[in-house]
């Protein structure tokens, strides 16, 4: 199960990075960004859940755990808001990349901390 969770979290890294870095480069949010981002969120959530199960279903209070939970929450908010922006609030399309890149940086920090913490 550990291998599956590692694969899922690394897939999340790929999907998040491709969608958010492209959104940042273009300075606009496109529908395919939202789709790839949501796929990344699903991979991240399942990978995180599996790791939680492997860890004995216990929540730790380390920096990786706190940042990881916060990053996952930011990514969930990012996914929900990006769907609303594409569907209803198009005037925000050219501004949203700022929040996306912020959420991605927090997620990357948590990702890197997780690697170093568990090597």
Show me where the domains of the chain are located. Answer: 2-117
pTM of the predicted model over 0.85: yes
pLDDT computed for residue 19 by the predictor: 97
Exposed, middle or buried, 82 (CB in 10 Å: 0-12/13-18/19+)?
buried
* Contact in structure between 45 and 72 (CB atoms under 8 Å): yes
Q: What is the pLDDT along the chain (119 residues), one digit of tens a residue?
A: 999 999 999 999 999 999 999 999 999 999 999 999 999 999 999 999 999 999 888 878 888 889 999 999 999 999 999 999 998 888 888 999 999 999 999 999 999 999 998 77
């Amino acid at each position: 199960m550990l291998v599956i969770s590692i694969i899922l979290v690394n897939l999340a890294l790929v999907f998040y990075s491709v969608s958010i870095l492209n959104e940042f480069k273009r300075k606009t949010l496109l529908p395919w960004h939202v789709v790839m981002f949501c796929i990344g969120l699903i991979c991240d959530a399942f990978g995180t859940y599996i790791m939680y199960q492997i860890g004995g279903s216990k929540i730790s209070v380390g920096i990786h755990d706190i940042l990881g939970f916060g990053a996952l929450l930011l990514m969930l908010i990012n996914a929900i808001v990006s769907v609303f922006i594409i569907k209803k609030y198009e005037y925000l399309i050219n501004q949203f990349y700022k929040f996306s890149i912020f959420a991605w940086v927090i997620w990357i920090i948590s990702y890197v901390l997780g690697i170093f913490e568990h090597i």
